[in-house]
Structure 1
Amino acid sequence: MTAHAILVGCAKLPEGDGDEHAVPAALGDLGFTTAWSAWDDPETDFAAAEVVVLRATWDYPDRRAEFLDWCESVPALRNAAPVVRWNTDKAYLADLIAAGVPAVPTELVEPGAAARWPDREFVLKPSIGVGSIGAARFAPGEADAAAAHLARLHDAGQTALLQPYQSAVDSSGETALVFFGGVYSHAFAKGAMLTGSTVDGSGLYVAEELGAAEPAAAERKLAEDALDAAADLLGILRAELLYARVDVVRGDDGAPVVLELELAEPSLGFGQADRGAPLRFASAVRQQLA
């Protein structure tokens, strides 16, 4: 078999953030030729590729309608355009909660609506955004600062997500569980964010402290349940998802809850995984052609 794969970045990160450095060679072992391209590069013939894989398309929040139109124009896009449309608006969390998935409580505050501030630490973030850009953490006595941040989000046309801050993140961070073709591959740890975090030089994401992780059984089960629920909501099989990342934190009672379910363009933690992870990813890419 010979096939062509395009890994997709953006103008500021046309070859991603470096995490996928081992992926082209792994794809090559399975008969793929591989190239990188920014999603809005007019010189790239995306329709000619057997598979087009979204990776670091992290400039889309300000151009989401244009980005989604482009996604719809690419027949071999993975994950597919309907998945990307659903998952690039964090309102999907409300869908997961309604489906019975334990997740961080989430209130959507649309432009023009007022917020009811919790009597505990909380987070405000844009519903359409990547890399923690625009996310801020507030103490109960910081209502004025929170209102000002909410006004900035609303002025930009953004719906805001209001969530109670999960204090366990400060001590244990997040666990990101990664799936290829619907099958668990590996996990990695993400340190606490939002306090003293610095934005990467590209300006597209907040730099994170990452490390290897071995998820607990309860975290594995929650991630599997979340993936099943998402596939059901989207009307697809889990195997149709080339990749998925489920970010899990511990709730107030110590039980795991979903913080985010990333199906569009997440970092996949190859740098924190075993050396077999790129090979498993390449195998999943080939499976998508079947």
Structure 2
Amino acid sequence: MSLKVDRISKRYGDLLALNETSFEVADGEIFGFVGSNGAGKTTTMRIVLGVLAADSGEVLVDGHPVDLDTRRRIGYMPEERGLYPKMKVGDQLNFLARLHGLSKSDAASAVERWTERLGVEQRLGDMVSALSLGNQQRVQLAAALVHDPKVLVLDEPFSGLDPVAVDVMSAVLKEKAAEGVPVIFSSHQLELVERECDRVGIIAGGRMRALGSITELQARGNPQLEVFAPSAPPGWAAGIPNTVVLQEGKGRTLLELQPGADDQAILRAALATGPVHQLISRRPSLAELFREVVA
């Protein structure tokens, strides 16, 4: 199953929240959807679910417009808590599973399986309001998975999780992708997006500004060179042609190499200050690319 968002636009009065935003998520692909607050991520996800209607454009699942039957096969995890705080965890998950069409016995089996998988099986009798934020997030994910969805749409799923819970969440998303489920999630944790996602879309001002694999996005930026010269004084690289000093401190200098930069000239300049212990070529991180694209 695949998901296609095709040139959707949405306006709220004078605010153009989405401006012909397009992307696709293939079968078994994990797609990272990143952008600043107010960039249009949540609006896009709500249009995918059919909660909001786009002013123009369309959303297709396996080539067909989203209808009631399609929505029942989508697992959604909102950024804000979408659970009933005064309802017991087990009762709530069973209720949601039944809403998606599962039989009573299938719903009970699914609740047992996913709460065990996510480490909240001991909390079935607790009200959601009594759980920690991290456990609420785990239950929220269980709610998105309990009906065995064919598409997963997750808004900030890693928010508030400790490192162990992040690992569990990551493993679950990879398992679903391995089953052929297209997974889209938004996150401000760009290192995690860089590590987990097959492709990434960067949205700003309601428009998709960059789209591709991490390798493809990194190819957009200039290469970088990290120099470790312990004796080099501050500002030693300031005059090297076609280079920009990105970071400097404790003997380490990170340079951006613009067209025409000469790495041998950089090495000679570094050696003129004393010994050079490391010279490492690297590409910009997703966080650096994000800042560049958004700016």
Give me the TM-score of the superposition, normalised by structure 1: 0.29
Higher normalized strand content (fraction of residues): 2
- With normalisation by structure 2, the TM-score equals 0.29
Question: Could you say which structure has the larger radius of gyration?
Answer: 2
